[in-house]
Amino acid sequence: MNIRRKLRAHSEIHTGPLNDILFILLLFFLIASTLANPNLVRVNNPRGSKDMKAKQNIIVSVNKDHQYFIGQQPIDFSMIDSLLKYQIENARLVVDTPSVVVNADTSAYWGEVFKIMNIAKKYNAKVGVHVK
């Protein structure tokens, strides 16, 4: 009878290593899921044989000496709002949405460049910036 009592002894399973293995598997799947982006679709974009730039209706230039030009005509910065409005309204007779391109030197005052961009947006023109 004493033999049967020894066979009913409780068996233990050590779960310490099991926790470590589960933690490592969890980290592996988290890292693997961030590397694989299922929302990414790769497509081949067509390439044109010619340079297809948008028509530049109005060009505003700022040189390194902080002089301002509309086209080739030098202007005073205090008059930029009214002159740019006039140019945009004239271009609107030909095109629905005229585009204003700002050519700025790297040493130009960027606050004034942004002011030119905001004036063009105020009169509903497309704006582009080119830095020399």
Beta bridge partners of 62: 68, 104
Q: Which amino acid is at 103?
A: N
pLDDT computed for residue 132 by the predictor: 63
- Averaged pLDDT, 41-50: 55
Under a CB-based contact definition with an 8 Å cutoff, are residues 62 and 100 in contact?
Answer: no
Domains assigned to the chain: 58-131 (3.30.420.270)
**pTM score, two decimals?**
0.55
pLDDT computed for residue 27 by the predictor: 92
What would the two tokens of residue 37 be? Answer: 């982006």
HSE at residue 63, side-chain half, CA atoms within 13 A, is 10
Lowest mean pLDDT among 10-14, 53-57, 126-130: 53-57
pLDDT computed for residue 22 by the predictor: 92
Under a CB-based contact definition with an 8 Å cutoff, are residues 119 and 85 in contact?
Answer: yes
- Averaged pLDDT, 72-86: 88
